[in-house]
């Protein structure tokens, strides 16, 4: 059954939650919580459970791209808009850095600001740009191949790509398919294909929403438990499999957890109008949250910023992590909101759309 429909605000909410998960990964990792908690098992276990629960965020965004992209008009001006947004934000952040922090002008950084895709300053933006160029072909595959063919393709490719979660490892030193633990356009394209498949055919529709949440929590807990278990097994075992093998973007458990969330949020489309209005406004700003808090100015500030939380009781530590995630997310959201209104005033999107339309009309 074809799933063509109007805007699904459950997907917009899913996009917001996914970016909150991304911020959570960086608060725990870059913020130093995971490293500092090593000496305290309860704190270590709690922080790694939260980390694992957030780890599917990248897969979530790729699933969203596939789910929405299958029936959306493929406009190159959309990618151009993101490029302009990245360039603007990077130039603004470097100006702030020059005036208030380092007071050193770098021509290299200025050049990087204009070519963010080629510099791989933001790895996801670089790989998403490659994925974007292949979206029409992926959409054509889903629309023109049979459901059985696409299903077999997804299962076979998934088996190969997810198996590579164990490469490189203590024994296998190379990544044979260059998946790079999911940090690659190839992996994003595969997850996009799954999202597009769900958009066209649906999946597990008879399962109740509570069971989808249970699948998510179960997958997360299994991946988390595997790490804690493997870290305590004899070296004869850990020599063959790394402790974090199932906590990677291309881990089957992390992929399943993200897919369960997609199927859950797709169903949350019947919300009050004012709630949909809020969600619809915030959702497009989430990309700004990503590029702002990963800019080196914020990234350097974030380094080991939250180590002190591991010295607190568990409930205080948990509240502190949640508060840090919320503060960074809301702060970056407010900053990008200002950028959003400036772009709207300057009619940036309309200008890019006009340029694309003119190019497409020319023979």
Q: In 3-state terms, what secondary structure has residue 146?
A: coil
Contact at 8 Å (CB) between 168 and 38?
no
**What pLDDT is stored for residue 24 in this prediction?**
98
pLDDT tens for 239-256 read: 677 788 899 999 999 999
Q: How far does Cα 276 stand from its chain's mean position?
A: 22
171 pLDDT more than 70? no
A 10 A CB-CB count for 78 gives 17
Mean pLDDT of 94-107: 76
CA–CA distance, 96 with 102 (Å, rounded to integer): 9
**Residue of 127, 113, 15, 129 lying closest to 78 (CA atoms):** 129
Query: 49 is written with which tokens?
Result: 């459970």
Q: How far does Cα 244 stand from its chain's mean position?
A: 19
In sequence order, the 6+-apart residues with CB closer than 8 A to the CB of 83 are 116, 117, 129
pTM > 0.95: no
**What pLDDT is stored for residue 3 in this prediction?**
46
CA–CA distance, 173 with 166 (Å, rounded to integer): 10
Q: Domain coordinates of the chain in residue numbers?
A: 9-361
CA–CA distance, 238 with 170 (Å, rounded to integer): 8
75: left (phi over 0), alpha (psi -120 to 50) or beta: beta
**Residue of 90, 6, 48, 54 lying closest to 339 (CA atoms):** 90
A 10 A CB-CB count for 30 gives 20
Contact at 8 Å (CB) between 249 and 182?
yes
Mean pLDDT of 71-94: 93
Identify the band that residue 4 occupies on the pLDDT scale cut at 50, 70 and 90.
very low
Average per-residue pLDDT for the chain:
91
Q: In 3-state terms, what secondary structure has residue 173?
A: coil
For the chain, the residue count is 363
2 pLDDT more than 50? no
Identify the band that residue 104 occupies on the pLDDT scale cut at 50, 70 and 90.
low
CA–CA distance, 205 with 263 (Å, rounded to integer): 8
**What pLDDT is stored for residue 99 in this prediction?**
81
Distance from the first to the final alpha carbon of the chain:
37
In sequence order, the 6+-apart residues with CB closer than 8 A to the CB of 152 are none
């Amino acid at each position: 059954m074809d799933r063509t429909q109007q805007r699904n605000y459950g997907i917009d909410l899913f996009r917001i939650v996914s970016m909150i998960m991304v911020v959570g990964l960086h608060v725990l990792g870059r913020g130093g919580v995971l490293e500092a908690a090593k000496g305290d098992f309860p704190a270590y276990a709690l922080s790694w459970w939260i980390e694992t629960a957030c780890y599917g965020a990248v897969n979530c965004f790729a699933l969203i791209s596939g789910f929405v992209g299958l029936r959306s008009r493929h406009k190159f001006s959309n990618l151009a808009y993101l490029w302009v947004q990245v360039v603007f934000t990077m130039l603004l952040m470097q100006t702030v850095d020059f005036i208030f922090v380092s007071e050193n002008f770098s021509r290299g950084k200025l050049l990087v600001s204009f070519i963010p895709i080629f510099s791989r300053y933001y790895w996801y933006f670089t790989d998403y740009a490659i994925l974007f160029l292949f979206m029409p072909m992926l959409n054509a595959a889903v629309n023109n191949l049979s459901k059985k063919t696409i299903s077999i393709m997804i299962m076979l490719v998934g088996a190969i790509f997810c198996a590579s979660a164990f490469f490189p490892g203590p024994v296998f030193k190379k990544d044979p398919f260059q998946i790079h633990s999911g940090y690659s356009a190839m992996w994003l394209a595969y997850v996009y294909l799954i999202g597009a498949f769900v958009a066209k055919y649906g999946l597990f529709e008879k399962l109740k929403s509570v069971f989808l949440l249970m699948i998510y929590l179960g997958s997360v807990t299994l991946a988390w438990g595997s790490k804690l278990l493997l870290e305590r097994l004899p070296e004869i075992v850990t020599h063959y499999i790394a402790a974090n093998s199932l906590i990677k973007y291309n881990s089957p458990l992390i992929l399943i957890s993200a897919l369960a969330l997609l199927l859950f949020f797709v169903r949350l489309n019947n919300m009050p109008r004012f709630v949909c209005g809020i969600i619809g406004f915030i959702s497009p700003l989430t990309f700004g949250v990503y590029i702002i808090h990963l800019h080196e100015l914020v990234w350097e500030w974030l380094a080991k910023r939250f180590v002190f939380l591991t010295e607190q009781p568990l409930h205080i530590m948990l509240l502190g992590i949640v508060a840090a995630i919320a503060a960074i997310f809301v702060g970056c959201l407010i900053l990008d909101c200002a950028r959003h209104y400036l772009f709207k005033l300057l009619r940036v999107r309309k200008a890019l759309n006009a340029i694309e339309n003119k190019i497409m009309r020319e023979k």
